[in-house]
Amino acid sequence: MSDDAAGERRSAPAGQPPAPPRAAGKISGPAPARRGFFRSPVLWPIAGILLLVVVNLLRDPTFLKVTIFERHFFGVPIDLLNHSAPIMVLALGMTLVIATGGIDLSVGSLVAITGAVAAMAMARGVESLPLIVAAALGCGALAGAINGVLVAYAGVQPIVATLIFMVAGRGIAQSLTGGNVILIKHPAFEFLGNGFFLALPFSALLAAALYGVAQLGLRRTAGRLFIEAVGDNPVASRFAGVPAARTTCLVYIVSGICAGIAGVLVASNIRTADPLQAGQNMELDAIFAVVVGGTALTGGRFLLSGSFVGALLLQTLTVTMLFVGVKPEVATVPKALLILLVCLLQSERTRGWLRGLFARRAPA
């Protein structure tokens, strides 16, 4: 059956001797200490951000300068926050999907679709902001539900299932807008991606608020437990009565809704719905943010704060490249190298080597 096939692929090769080094290595770290702040995996991306900020300050001491103009804050850090908001929101949904051992490749395309839906609603004369936003989010949720059903109930591999929307999504967005880039003129809608609230960019505040709500919601409900259980050991969680399929499906729906929010923010920020360019490569940025933030692609434990900081790190990297004079198109090179570094550092083999290195040095 489907679950078995997925399990087989994920689990360590059967019939092999139990892998002692892995087990031994994990036991060796004193577990309680890991919960201390200084051991937190979030420290790594934070350190990365600080490093980039220092580099920028050395080049331009006014990098962090924030001025107040017309009762709003202005400056590079503010722009940075504003621009990382969509990725932050996407990374939120992506974190949950990855925690269940899945992946959602469709969110970039969904950003384009939902942006187009919002724009078309406005073009058709819908004035009410809640209605416009609801239409966009509803579309995201629907697409997420399709992904979720394919993964959780039809047993299609997550990469494969979400690939469908990744391929078809831009076509759908294009056909919604008739292939045009739609300009948006709707002050309330434009506020979402450009406005300021309490002198701070609204989009960044919204992203932060969503993280807060998610964090709280996952604690109030058994969401975090179920998601982590499914990602950690799908068979055992099903046997323990966890509604594994439902949990998996819900997570994709949440990811779709997050894509809807990000789509609204992007469309609002640039005041256009661009079916081709909007959300381009955003699914990749979101995945990177999650991985850099310390959530393993294998599923299980997840770290929302890590993804938040990871998204910030990615945007800081992009801004830094811009400041250093690297063309934005080329800025993908350091991104690629960063993700490679994180992957290699997380791999068992590298960890084994590093452990070996330290073990040999320790007695000396």
Partner 1 sequence: MIARWQRHLTLVATAFVLAVLYTTAALLYPGFFSAGVLANLLTDNAALGIAAVGLTLVIFSGGIDLSVGAVVGFTSIFTATLVQQHGFHPATAAVLALLIGAALGATMGAIIHFFRQPPFLITLAGMFFMRGCAFWITTEQLPFDHPFFLKASAFAVPLGKTFSLPATALALLAVLVIGSVLAHLTRFGRNLLALGGSEQSALLMGLPIGPTKIGAYAVNGVCAAIAGVVATLYTGAGNASLGLGLELDAIAVVVIGGTLLTGGRGHMFGTLLGVLIFGTIQSALLFDGRLNSAWVRIVVGALLLAFILLQRFLVRGLRRR
Partner 2 sequence: MSDQPLLTMRGIGKRFPGVVALDGVDFAVRAGEIHALLGENGAGKSTLIKVLTGVHEPDAGEVRLDGKLIRPASPKEAERAGISTVYQEVNLIPSLSVAENIALGRQPGKFGFLHWPALRRHAREALARLEIACDVDAELGTLSVALQQMVAIARALDLNARLLVLDEPTASLDEKEIAELFAIMRRLRGQGMGVVFVTHFLEQVYAVTDRITVLRNGALVGEYPTAELPRLQLVAKMLGRDLAETAAQAEAAHAVHAAASPLLVARGLERKGAIRALDLEARRGEVTGLAGLLGSGRTETARVLFGIDRRDGGTIALRGREVRLHSPHEAIAHGMAFSSEDRKVEGILPNLSVRENLIVALQAKRGGWRALRREEQEKLCGHYIAALRIKTADAEVPVKNLSGGNQQKVLLARWLATQPELIILDEPTRGIDVGAKAEIEQIVAKLRADGVAVIFISSEIEEIVRNSSRVVVLRERRKAGEFSGADINTPRLMQAMAGGHARHE
Q: What residues line the site for partner 2 (CB under 8 A)?
A: 11, 14-18, 20, 23-24, 26-27, 31-32, 35, 219-223, 225-226, 228-229, 232-233, 235-243, 247, 300-301
353, burial (CB in 10 Å: exposed 0-12, middle 13-18, buried 19+) = exposed
Q: CB 172 → partner 1: shortest distance, Å?
A: 6
Residues 6+ apart with CB under 8 A from 219: none
Q: Among residues 291, 311, 313, 319, which is the contact residue for partner 1, using CB under 8 A?
A: 291
DSSP state at residue 12: P
The CA-atom distances, in angstroms, between 24 and each of 20, 344, 360 are 6, 20, 16
Stretch that binds partner 1, among 161-169, 211-219, 257-265, 302-310 (CB under 8 A): 161-169
Q: Is 215 one of the binding residues for partner 1 (CB under 8 A)?
A: no
194 binds, among partner 1, partner 2, none (CB under 5 to 8 A by kind): none
d(CA 256, CA 244): 19
364 binds, among partner 1, partner 2, none (CB under 5 to 8 A by kind): none
Q: CB 256 → partner 1: shortest distance, Å?
A: 16
Backbone φ/ψ region at 79: left (φ over 0), alpha (ψ -120 to 50), beta: alpha
Q: What is the CA 159 to chain-centroid distance, rounded?
A: 15
179 binds, among partner 2, partner 1, none (CB under 5 to 8 A by kind): partner 1
Q: Is 6 helix (H, G, I), strand (E, B) or coil?
A: helix
24 binds, among partner 1, partner 2, none (CB under 5 to 8 A by kind): partner 2
Residues 6+ apart with CB under 8 A from 50: none
Q: Is 139 one of the binding residues for partner 1 (CB under 8 A)?
A: no
Q: CB 17 → partner 1: shortest distance, Å?
A: 14
Q: CB 293 → partner 1: shortest distance, Å?
A: 14
DSSP state at residue 39: G
The answer to whether 228 and 302 are in contact (CB under 8 A) is yes
Residues between 297 and 356 that touch partner 1 (CB under 8 A): 297, 327, 329-337, 339-340, 343-344, 347-350
Q: Of the two residues 32 and 125, which places its CB atom closer to partner 2 in the complex?
A: 32
Q: Of the two residues 11 and 67, which places its CB atom closer to partner 1 in the complex?
A: 11
Place of tokens 């256009």: 272
Q: Of the two residues 75 and 155, which places its CB atom closer to partner 1 in the complex?
A: 155
241 binds, among partner 2, partner 1, none (CB under 5 to 8 A by kind): partner 2
DSSP per residue, 131-180: HHHHHHHHHHHHHHHHHHHHHHTS---HHHHHHHHHHHHHHHHHHHHTTS
Which stretches of the chain bind partner 1, using CB under 8 A? 1-2, 9, 13-15, 103, 150, 154-157, 159-161, 163-175, 178-179, 275, 284, 287, 291, 297, 327, 329-337, 339-340, 343-344, 347-350
